[in-house]
Structure 1
Amino acid sequence: MPTQTSAAFAGLWVPLVTPFRGGAVDHEALGALTRRLAPAGVAGFVVCGSTGEAAALDEDEQLACLATVARHAGGRPFMMGLSGYHLGATRAWVRSVSALAASQVPGLCGLLVPAPHYVRPSQDGLRAWFEGLADASALPLILYDIPYRTGAVITRETLLALAAHPNIRAVKDCGGDAGKTQALIADGRLAVLAGEDLQIFSTVALGGAGAIAASAHLHTSRFAAVLEALARSELSAARALWWPLVPLIEALFAEPNPGPLKALLAGQGMMRGELRAPLTGASTALRERLAAIDASLGHG
């Protein structure tokens, strides 16, 4: 069986939404959400990922979110998402954020970084991008392979070449290429974390390290139990836990994330359902569908 060499990046990671109230970040709600999730089987958190609407947050807001999660994570580690398309500016931001781990933000364990958006560089350009950022960072990099957001496909060969860099340790896999996923797992140098929630079961069953799953804001302990059962090779038990989650996952991504997720969390009183433009809230029909699915799953 393939082995994952980056044990630090394993298990269930939740990419936190960023709650808003009256247009400003609602740090009280963010802290409460973090505290609720921390003891529910979560290995760690992602701050300012795509689910966290990072593109709509300025740098000061991102750093404030990072500080809030650090205060409420209950000792769980967390990684910070960051992106860009100007190498020099992004390298400077990487240096600035990663330096915080040394003293100001204990628990910050890595940076989740996608390909440069809009630019669509060659594979050599992608290698130069990620290697340049990895060289600049005091923290390990987790590569975020998500071509439908960036417009750049990172090939299997490029990912395997990047795995040789000592400061590139994991990949959030949203690449949509099952062959590439399996090749990375078989290679074993990068911890492969499922980034598409419907692919959690297959990725982990094949030997992947875990998942970064927005859906796991809800019924978190059940998602964690699926991963734990798979780690024990208890496939029947894992399937029994997994299948009821599939309709929830499908509904949560039926409209742009995190609109549906925020709507359901708002219905539970955890936060307001606010998003920043150009994102919009979930439709009434989807909110009703989500509430019914959530209720059918009970507590957990």
Structure 2
Amino acid sequence: MGLKKATDMRILLDTNIWRYVVDHDALGAVRQAARKSRHEIVVAPAVVYEALRTGRSSLRDSLVSATTLPCWKRLMPEAFSEAQEIKAEVRRLHSDWLRWREDLTRYRRLQYDWTRSRGGFWDRARYDTAREAQLIDSLQVLDAARVETREVREYALSMPAQWRGVPLGAVLASPAHPAPGWNGNPVELWRVQAHSHFERALDRPGHPYADWLEGEVNLIMMKLHPRERTRFWFHEVDRMRMPRHWLRSAFEFQQQFHKITDGTPVDGQIGTYLVDVDLMLSADRNFVRFAERCRREAPFFVGRSALVPGGPPAIDALLAELAKPA
């Protein structure tokens, strides 16, 4: 039996840090420092997805090769973790939505594809990069997210400036149209957004939520009960049990008041992993600002985020974190 290294701090790197590591040929130094460290570098699938979308193939291949090394701690995709939160709340609040007979065949196959040491997603991305990049592009998920982000930004331009400073937990909203099951009073913004996101997922064949839920949750049964579904999201689920949904909404709320870039939706994805790590390093000032505000105002644990300088100093900052004693 092999011995597992004791880990004191889990460190998540933003995509821009990986870019500096690759650009300045520092991967060997980072690997060596990580081996000596009691801390652990973790990789979010959202970072690998962003690397796969890189336009220049030589840079894409280098970024994917760096982020998919088996020595890093690999996380599950955010859709898996968000679906786990949904499933747990369904089990707690609406056992009538659970399947009488579970069929976990597909769930286990997908989970194994993400967790296996050889032959799964991480190997496909690493050794068949062009094909995996083509598949990611064909899904057009990020394109849709970018359109939605820009629409939200246009709406935010008409909002009073004081909205920026409202505590994240105090931001209330109402659905755009009356929804059966809603009591008519404004609810926390994250509830409205999570409900909307879930409704779109139910209507989209092959959505990742369905992949991770349908073996235990009867999604057809859920679709037949819109009133109960709205009540579930607006009035029943516990925010302490839905941290990733809360974080996604908190990031989107803050992002709408700032300039939108093609990477904005990805920042929201990466932000949901802050409940899984102790430290996130990024050279993106706004991203760190948003993340730290979430850490201060969230009602649950959120890992710390630190801004590092761009270029070679970013590598020095990473090596310094890895060298810190336990």
Whichever of the two has the greater Rg, that structure is: 2
- Could you say which structure has the higher strand fraction? 1
TM range (shorter): 0.3 to 0.5
- Could you say which structure has the higher helix fraction? 2
Name the structure, 1 or 2, with higher relative contact order (CA <8 Å, separation 6+): 2
TM-score (norm 2): 0.31
